[in-house]
Amino acid sequence: MTRSLFLKMLVLTFLGFVVGCGSSNPDFFYVNQGQQAQPVSTLGSIQLNQVLLRSVPMSVTDQRFRGFDVTGVVRYGPVSFPKSPTIVLANVPTNVVRLQIDYLDDGVLVGTGSLTVEVRPNETTVIESPNFVDIAPANPTPSPSPTVTVTPTPTVTPTPTPTVTPTPNPTVTPTPTPTVTPTPTPTVTPTPTPTVTTTPTPSPNDDVQGQGIVNSSTLEVSTASFLGQGVDEGVKGADIAPDRKIVLGGKISNTTFPGVIPTELTLGQPASGGAIFRLSGDGRTVVSVTLLGSDVTDLAVHPTSGEILVATPEAVVLLNATADAIVWSAGSGGSRVDIGSDGTLAYVNGNSTVILSSNRTQTETLQEGVDYSATDVTDVCVEPTTMRVVVSGWEQRDDNTGNVRQWQSPWLKAYSYNGAAAWTAYDFSNSQADAESRGSDSRMNVVSRGEDGQIYAAGQSSGGESVFQRLPQDISTNAGLVGNDTYTIPSNLGGPNITFYGRFSPVNGTLQAGQIVLTRLMNGSGNTIVPRAIAADGSGRVFLAGSANASLANRDNLIINGQNIGGYSGQDGFILVASSDLSTRELWTSFTTGGRMTGLALAVDSEKVVFAGQGRQNAAQTTSPFVTVEPIQSSFSNDTNDRMGFFAVFKAP
């Protein structure tokens, strides 16, 4: 071997070793380009070793994690775990470059931390002692900078040159050699502030327009549009995909849009108007349309993969993220669906709830009640932190003794993934309701998991003497609901259906905060309002949608995009936004300008709010029945037998 060849080999060996080793800078990594090719993967794991948990307040009960890509878009989470010395985040996309950690005290944000990470396929990134910043105004005290290492899985075995065995000091930045000069980017060492706000960099057509909520009666939307018109048409499901696109589903016959060729996935059923729409993030452009063989009654999008779980009366279908291929389907049909961040699926079929593991190989079917006609399972949500499914519903209970004889009893029930009962809220008997004079017929209509990891549910009661005014596990104790005006304190009622909504612990179903909402006639009498959708953002702010009779607060002065929407015209499709403690009504408005509407779906993230529903024209009107702003469909039907879909998008508060 010549001396020249020997030197070249020595240099190549040294470079191969340096490229294959991790930097002692915890926020910067090198990539081993010389490893043997492995199967392609876009997922890795993050393990947090929190030996400095003593620096975190004892009051912290949970930690919430979100992963962002280089543009600031959430690509992982939010997922929450009970505070623990070691937490493993599985199936983290490799395009996650920053991890944000929120520290929660029973659901309330008390601290935060942020750090740069590199997630490698099939490997585990280890974070030692992540930083903590108290969000209280006084002297934020971050813990020492975390040390991050990458631990390969058994399938990836880097082989460093045996003659070179450096021992890097994790707290000392090594001096690079003349031939290797890694240059960390300016964002290598993030400096979290006491209040962390992530603002994704918008991509074309994804920048939500308008101010959003101006005050409790004034709203600026990015878009408000009809979508479909015909017999029983409407938008019945809505969600936001990881790429920030909006996903809508329902019975929608209008599928002709410029440059869009619909995909047909009819599952052997004749096309009947069932459709999935994917829209740009601002809601102003149709990206794709997928035709299904039946009416879409609900949908849910996986928060990281973007797969879309769809309910129809004939089948429950899991579509890929672009809604042009079927990943899985079940022929039993369903009315409501949800999918957890861990991939667990759940759907309602009649008076049963079906739970499927993430690989769809294990199934649990939960039957509610013994008399199908007396039991109604209304909704379901997956709660991956506690590995549970929460179901809402009500049951007609007849008892010929006492004063409460024929009575509708509401309930929330949580089950472990294996079908074991975990907790129950409400579900009281006739005799219990009779003893406490709580005989108003009541139903639990909807349930969801908020972006803050808590459980949110909403129902209705016929009058004010309902079990909702008592603790869900103790009917003899007042619930202490939040009431701050005549629209949140039930009085002067003659039996209209009024709304209850609340935040519940996913651990044991206890009520954390709750409120009654009702409308008022001009004479001050209480009137009907029925909830059909509920959601919550990462701070616990609550969003409620449904239908309301006369009238919302300040109904004659509601403004959307600078225009007064006019007086009450028959039935308002409403959206209500309440502060996390429920003490402030941040928004209460309608999208009805002369027609009749019901809000049926909500989707919320840190960037935007999506409202969707169904309505019709009033008989004596020929002008637009709903608000429209930059609509993708401006046409509507004046036939009062027709139903029209509707959706609106506005900037998140």
Mean pLDDT, rounded, for 589-613: 97
Parallel, antiparallel or unpaired: strands 308-311 and 316-319: antiparallel
Q: What does each C-alpha distance from 450 to 243, 307, 502, 543 come to in angstroms?
A: 19, 19, 11, 10
Strand positions, DSSP E, 83-185: 86-93, 98-105, 108-116, 123-128, 133-134, 147-152
> Rounded distance, CA 143 to CA 52, Å?
8
Parallel, antiparallel or unpaired: strands 336-339 and 326-330: unpaired
pLDDT in tens, 281-315: 999 999 999 999 889 999 999 999 999 999 999 99
Torsion of CA 467, 468, 472, 475, to 10 degrees: -30
pLDDT of residue 4: 42
> Rounded distance, CA 530 to CA 458, Å?
9
Residue 455, pLDDT > 80, answer yes
Architecture of domain 43-134: Sandwich (2.60)
Mean pLDDT, rounded, for 100-107: 81
The topology under which CATH files domain 218-650 is: Methylamine Dehydrogenase; Chain H (2.130.10)
pLDDT of residue 144: 44
User: Which two three-digit tokens encode residue 71?
Assistant: 């543009």
pLDDT in tens, 9-57: 333 343 333 333 333 332 222 222 223 333 335 789 999 888 655 557 7
Mean pLDDT, rounded, for 577-581: 98
pLDDT in tens, 355-400: 999 888 888 998 886 554 578 999 999 999 999 999 999 999 887 7
**pLDDT band at residue 137 using 50, 70 and 90 as cut-offs:** very low
pLDDT in tens, 204-241: 445 899 999 999 999 999 999 999 988 889 999 999 99
Of all residues in the chain, the percent with pLDDT exceeding 70 is 79
* 77 backbone φψ class: left, alpha, beta (φ>0; ψ -120 to 50): left
* Long-range contacts from 359-364, C-beta under 8 angstroms, 24+ separation: 360/328, 364/415, 364/417, 364/418, 364/419
Domain range list for the chain: 43-134, 218-650
pLDDT of residue 26: 27
The label of the residue with tokens 């029209």 reads 644
**pLDDT band at residue 268 using 50, 70 and 90 as cut-offs:** low
pLDDT of residue 426: 98
Q: Mean pLDDT in the chain?
A: 82
Which of 61-75, 472-486, 591-605 bottoms out in mean pLDDT, i.e. has the lowest? Answer: 61-75
Mean pLDDT, rounded, for 106-132: 83
More confident residue, 257 or 170: 257
* 389 backbone φψ class: left, alpha, beta (φ>0; ψ -120 to 50): beta
